[in-house]
Structure formats: structure tokens, C-alpha cells
């Protein structure tokens, strides 16, 4: 079989460039390139994906936006203290990290987040400008990155902090209405401006966060118009992954789930952001929806708790209690606990999504990428939340692509 070699230079633009996921991605890539790490957790490093001629990991060039002053070495130091990154990796990744740091630009942020402590004043200034100016600045950063690094294409990934929840707005319902709101200078959540900038620049856009990103109808329309693929929302890495594996078991055995309680404790920056109720609301909505759909019960009693426990650092623990009923009305329960490093679970999925988004663009695919549903808590294209069915759809996509390539 042909190796997945590809000599192109592919830009990966990370929104949230100095966060834990981005930091794990940079040092993880360096470790893979130096042969210090196995590609554990990277599904595209396994058959049948290895036969798809996806972009080679050596071809990835990193850059991004952030709004904080904290430099990457600080984020890396945190992850060393949390037991996620080893000192060998820090040494091996120092060159790549230094190049990446140079390619980070100040981004923009929401009105509701402007108060946060470690804010880069350039980002605060950009966010006070009209939305059209903000989009122009973000798009110019992408163009400079592409030109300065002689890149063939750039994939944009949102791994920034979760935004506060905002109710639906009329102007998000169509592209015409959204453009009019931008022209009128009406302020918009930062994730929409980033997504608009990426799509307008012709870059595939991946929304790994629960923020709205490109999922509003107006931006889905823009993506179709500009013929750009995009996917999201909210990486499925831990508790929700397990839930969407387990829930179909109850339906398949005609067992009646009476209630499903889930509690998450986490201690990283993501946890600190989610401690705020408006930001937590954005996350909890995604976590609840999957269960209701899979169990076919709109009135199911569910609860998702998310608590910030600083001493846990990047290690998230979830405990779920599932109360269910069988024949004769017998009441039973299933419980699971999951303890995972959030960022180490997420970074390989980002690598997979970058490769798949680049392939989608190379194949001329446009709009939502339904085959990537297995990666997300709230897949933009809808469809089932059943992880097994989602994964089979991804395998079928890979096999279709491989057969078409062999026929050509």
C-alpha cells in the first residue's frame, strides 16, 4: 500500500493558540517527529485511514490567535507539573515551540470576556473595533501566515475557551441578515468572527469547542457559497464519548432508563471558565442532548454537573449513575467513573480533524463534514449520536475514498 506521504506544507491555525490542547499538540507533534512518541489516540494513523494519503504530519506548520499574554513555555510548564508532558518532550519540542510562538497573533474576544486577568492589550483593542474591522484583521493574519510560511493551504481550528451562552438571534438565520448586522456594526460573539474570517479566507474550519463558531445558518450558508468544508461542534473526548457508547445498549435490550446523572470535576483553565454559569450553559446543552436522542425520551431525567476543582489540574473525573428498569419492574443501576487528561485526549483528535478537513478540501467537499460526527458532542449536520454508528460512517467514508482512489 502507498504510504501516507505528502510533501505539501499545510498550515494549522489554532484559535486558543496558548491553551492546553494547543500546547499538547505542539509538543506532541515534535515528539512524533523525533520518534519519541507512538501515535496513540490518532485514529488517522491506523488502517484504513493510512491508505487515504492524508497530509503527512511532517508537513504541518503551526500558528494561531490567542488573547492572553502567557507564553507557550508557561503553558508547557503547567502541563509538565500536571504530569502530562515529559521533560524529554519539552527539550525535543523547543525548536518547534519557538517557531510556533513567533506565528501567534493577538486575536479578538467577546465583550463578556474582556475582563479576564492575563489579557493581551492588543486583543482588547481589536475587540473594541467594529466587527468588520475585526474580521479584516483576522483574515489578514491568515493571509500573512500563508504567505510567510509558503503554505499550500491552511486549516483553522477553534480550541479557544468556551464562550458565554447566547440565545438565538434573527440575524444569524441567513447570510443576508448576518452581513447586514456586520455592516451595521452590531457586535457578535468572537467565535462567529473567527469562523467568518476562516471561511472568507477559503480555509476549512473545525470547531472543537461548544461555542457557536460556523454552526449558525448564516455561516453554514457562507461555507456553501465559498465552497469550504467545516465541522464541529465540541470535541467528544471523555464522559460524553462513554455515554454515547453505553446509551444504545439500553435501547438494544429494551431496558428503560429512568434517570442518568453525570458529574464532572476538572481543575484546568477550561474548568475555571466553565465555573461561570453563562459559559457552563453552553457546555451542558451539548452534553444533555445526546442522551435524550439516543434513549428516545424527551422527558428523561438527566443532570450534568460540572465543578471546578483546582487541585485536579488537567485530570478530569466523571462519575455517571444510570438508574434503569427491567422486566417485572426490577430497578437496577450502572455506574462508571472516567478519569482522563483532557488535553491529551483532545490533541490527537485535533490532528485527525486537521487531516480530514484538509482532505475534504482537496476532494472539493463543501459544507458540513457528516463523516466526522464521531469526533463531536454536537455534530453540526445532526444525525445519530451513537458512537458506534458514527464510527462506522467514518470507516465507510475512508473505504469509499480509498476505492475511488484505486479506481482512478
Nearer to ligand NAD, 206 or 359 (CB): 206
Stretch that binds ligand NAD, among 17-25, 169-177, 221-229, 366-374 (CB under 6 A): 17-25
Interface of this chain with ligand NAD, residues 202 to 261, rule: CB under 6 A: 208-209, 234-235, 237-238
| Near ligand NAD by CB under 6 A: residue from 342, 352, 368, 386 | 342
Nearer to ligand NAD, 5 or 74 (CB): 74
Show the binding pattern over residues 56-85: x = contacts ligand NAD (CB under 6 A), - = does not: ---------xxxx-----------------
| Near ligand NAD by CB under 6 A: residue from 141, 171, 239, 270 | 270
Show the binding pattern over residues 97-126: x = contacts ligand NAD (CB under 6 A), - = does not: ----------x-x---x-------------
Interface of this chain with ligand NAD, residues 122 to 161, rule: CB under 6 A: 159-161
- The order of strands in the sheet holding 229-232 is 104-106, 60-66, 10-15, 153-158, 205-207, 229-232, 367-368
Nearer to ligand NAD, 161 or 215 (CB): 161
CB 44 within 8 Å of CB 391: no
Residue length, the chain? 408
Nearer to ligand NAD, 237 or 288 (CB): 237
Stretch that binds ligand NAD, among 13-21, 42-50, 51-59, 172-180 (CB under 6 A): 13-21
Nearer to ligand NAD, 229 or 348 (CB): 348
Q: Does 164 bind ligand NAD (CB under 6 A)?
A: no
Q: Which residue ranges make up the site for ligand NAD (CB under 6 A)?
A: 15-16, 18-21, 65-68, 107, 109, 113, 159-162, 190, 208-209, 234-235, 237-238, 268-270, 342-343, 345-346
Amino acid at each position: 500500500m502507498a504510504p501516507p506521504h505528502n510533501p505539501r506544507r499545510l498550515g494549522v491555525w489554532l484559535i486558543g493558540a496558548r491553551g492546553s490542547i494547543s500546547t499538547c499538540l505542539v509538543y506532541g507533534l515534535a515528539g512524533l517527529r523525533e520518534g519519541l512518541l507512538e501515535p496513540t489516540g490518532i485514529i488517522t494513523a491506523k488502517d484504513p485511514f493510512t491508505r487515504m494519503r492524508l497530509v503527512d504530519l511532517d508537513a504541518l506548520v503551526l500558528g494561531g490567535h490567542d488573547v492572553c499574554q502567557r507564553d507557550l513555555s508557561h503553558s508547557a510548564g503547567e502541563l509538565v507539573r500536571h504530569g502530562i508532558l515529559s521533560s524529554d518532550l519539552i527539550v525535543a519540542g523547543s525548536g518547534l515551540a519557538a517557531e510556533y510562538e513567533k506565528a501567534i497573533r493577538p486575536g479578538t474576544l467577546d465583550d463578556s470576556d474582556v475582563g479576564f486577568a492575563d489579557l493581551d492589550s492588543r486583543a482588547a483593542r481589536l475587540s473594541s473595533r467594529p466587527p468588520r474591522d475585526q474580521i479584516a484583521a483576522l483574515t489578514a493574519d491568515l493571509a500573512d501566515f500563508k504567505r510567510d510560511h509558503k503554505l499550500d493551504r491552511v486549516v483553522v481550528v477553534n480550541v479557544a475557551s468556551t464562550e458565554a451562552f447566547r440565545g438565538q438571534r434573527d440575524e444569524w438565520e441567513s447570510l443576508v441578515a448576518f452581513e447586514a448586522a456586520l455592516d451595521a456594526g452590531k457586535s457578535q460573539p468572537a467565535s462567529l468572527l473567527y469562523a467568518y474570517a476562516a471561511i472568507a479566507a477559503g480555509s476549512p474550519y473545525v470547531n472543537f469547542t461548544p461555542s457557536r463558531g460556523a454552526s449558525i445558518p448564516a455561516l453554514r450558508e457562507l461555507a456553501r457559497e465559498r465552497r469550504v468544508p467545516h465541522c464541529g461542534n465540541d470535541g467528544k473526548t471523555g464522559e460524553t464519548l462513554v455515554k454515547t457508547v453505553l446509551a444504545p445498549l439500553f435501547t438494544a435490550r429494551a431496558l428503560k432508563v429512568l434517570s442518568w446523572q453525570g458529574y464532572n470535576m476538572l481543575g484546568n483553565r477550561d474548568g475555571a471558565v466553565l465555573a461561570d454559569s453563562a459559559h457552563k450553559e453552553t457546555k451542558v446543552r451539548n452534553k444533555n442532548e445526546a442522551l435524550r436522542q439516543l434513549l428516545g425520551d424527551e422527558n428523561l431525567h438527566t443532570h450534568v454537573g460540572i465543578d471546578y476543582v483546582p487541585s485536579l489540574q488537567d485530570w478530569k473525573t466523571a462519575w455517571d449513575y444510570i438508574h434503569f428498569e427491567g422486566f417485572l419492574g426490577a430497578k437496577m443501576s450502572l455506574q462508571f467513573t472516567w478519569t482522563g487528561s483532557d488535553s491529551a485526549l483532545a490533541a490527537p483528535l485535533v490532528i485527525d480533524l486537521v487531516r480530514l478537513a484538509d482532505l475534504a478540501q482537496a476532494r472539493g467537499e463543501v459544507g458540513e463534514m457528516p463523516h466526522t460526527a464521531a469526533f463531536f458532542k454536537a455534530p453540526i449536520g445532526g444525525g445519530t449520536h451513537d458512537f458506534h454508528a458514527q464510527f462506522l460512517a467514518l470507516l465507510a467514508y475512508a473505504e469509499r475514498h480509498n476505492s475511488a482512489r484505486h479506481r482512478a
